[in-house]
């Protein structure tokens, strides 16, 4: 089983953003995991979409950043109820 907190910390910097590209071995598992959550909000600015996702029974939500040009996806965890747009 993947540790998504560890993956977030170990992500590589790619053109000024941290995350994983579609060719990474865990990319599909990361996307599948993120889809299990419920979107709270989403905001697109230029090439970046930032989305807050909450997961049932978890103390933390994920703030996900997706770069459209190359599919880079990265996330950080925030305590439920913090970090509003």
Query: pLDDT for 25-62, tens place per residue?
Result: 999 999 999 999 999 999 999 999 999 999 988 889 99
Angstrom distance (rounded) from CA 27 to CA 70: 13
pTM of the model: 0.86
Q: What are phi and psi of 22, to 5 degrees?
A: -55, -25
State how far the alpha carbon of 59 is from the alpha carbons of 37, 56, 80, in Å.
13, 9, 6
The DSSP bridge partners found for residue 40 are: none
The CA distance from 35 to 58, in Å, is 15
């Amino acid at each position: 089983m993947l540790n998504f907190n560890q993956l977030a910390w170990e992500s590589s910097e790619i053109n000024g953003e941290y995350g994983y590209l579609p060719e990474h071995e865990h990319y599909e598992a990361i996307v599948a995991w993120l889809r299990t959550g419920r979107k709270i909000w989403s905001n697109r600015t230029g090439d970046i979409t930032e989305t807050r996702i909450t997961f049932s029974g978890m103390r933390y939500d994920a703030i996900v950043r997706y770069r459209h040009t190359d599919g880079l996806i990265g996330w950080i965890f925030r305590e439920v109820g913090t970090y509003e747009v």
